[in-house]
Amino acid sequence: MLDDMKRKAAWAALEFIPRHTVVGVGTGSTVNHFIDALATIKHEIKGAVSSSEQSTAKLKDLGIPVLDLNSIDRFSVYVDGADEINPDKHMIKGGGAALTREKIVAAVAETFICIVDESKQVPVLGRFPLPVEVIPMASSYVARELNKIGGRAVLRAGVTTDNGNVILDVHDLEIRHPIQLEAQINNIVGVVTNGIFAIRAADKVLVGTPAGTTILK
Ligand SMILES: O=C[C@H](O)[C@H](O)[C@H](O)COP(=O)(O)O
């Protein structure tokens, strides 16, 4: 059921992909459906910029050229999932440990289209533990600093990011001021980035439901 809602949201995104341009591609199970959809118009796009090794592998398997982000000044649309999204289109991301590259690729896009199933919609962010990517030698220090701001940081066992770093998942946060908290956590020395996407929120949200897809602009 959830997977069906993810698929609906992902395929609905095709309508918003301008032809003959580069497409930004996120990471995760919802995005995997989007990549399947994108493959059906692969001859009508210039290629993709990818936010993870996982998405890169799937894009290439389906014959979609993957371009180096450094070779592109700007592109129009980035499509990605989320672990949680609030009514202001602020998100928590990074459940799949891809948050840093996702934030980088999103920064270069003109428009961020978020594709989610309806279970991801929340009034206040924080029920999903907040992922924070950290330089390995700083993980204990950063965990202590995160605990000071009211969270409970837990090292994600056995996970190394595509950038060679570790993930701390911060439990028990009630994120009432996402923009401020995103900046505050990014200021802790040793943090590469955190999974709050609020300074740069989504522009459009496609929500898969049992009845179809709802568009939030
Ligand atoms: O690191 C992973 C990404 O932020 C994903 O976009 C997020 O975890 C949502 O993934 P899924 O579509 O599998 O629920």
Residue 161, domain CATH: 3.30.70.260
pTM for the structure as a whole: 0.97
Cβ neighbours, 10 Å, residue 123: 7
Give yes or no for residue 81 CB within 6 A of ligand 1.
Answer: yes
Contacts of 50 (CB under 8 A, 6+ apart): 25, 56, 59, 66, 101, 105
Active site residue 110: no
Token pair for residue 195?
């999974």
Could you tell me the two tokens for 61? 């398997």
CA 128-77-159 angle, 5° bins: 35
Give residue 103's pLDDT.
98
Question: How far, in Å, CA of 207 to CA of 82, rounded?
Answer: 11
Over 90: is that where the pLDDT of 89 sits? yes
Ligand 1: centre distance to CA 145 (Å): 25
Q: How many A from CA of 30 to the centre of ligand 1?
A: 7
Q: Are residues 138 and 173 in the same domain?
A: yes
Average pLDDT, integer, range 60-75: 98
Query: Is residue 217 scored above 90 in pLDDT?
Result: no
Same domain, 211 and 111: yes
The pLDDT value given to residue 212: 96
Per-residue pLDDT averaged across 44-71, rounded?
98
pLDDT higher than 90, residue 178: yes
Residue nearest atom 6 of ligand 1, based on CA coordinates = 81
> Do both 104 and 140 map to the same domain?
no
Q: Are residues 118 and 139 in the same domain?
A: no
Q: What one-character-per-residue DSSP string does 103-119 give?
A: HHHHHHEEEEEEEEEGG
Tell me the pLDDT band of 147, cut-offs 50, 70 and 90. very high
Interface predicted TM-score of the whole assembly (ipTM), two decimals: 0.98
206 and 183 in a single domain? The answer is no
Catalytic: which of 15, 44, 84, 102? 102
* CATH number of the CATH domain containing 45: 3.40.50.1360
Cα of 92 from ligand 1 centre, angstroms = 9
Closest CA to 127 of 99, 102, 92: 92
Q: Which pLDDT score is estimated for 29?
A: 98
pLDDT of 56 reads 98
Range of the domain at 190: 130-194
Task: Determine the Cα–Cα distance for residues 203 and 217; give it in Å rounded to an integer.
Answer: 7
The answer to whether the annotation marks 27 as part of a ligand binding site is yes
What rounded mean pLDDT belongs to the chain? 98
Answer whether 208 contacts ligand 1 (Cβ < 6 A). no
Tokens linked to 192: 């590469």
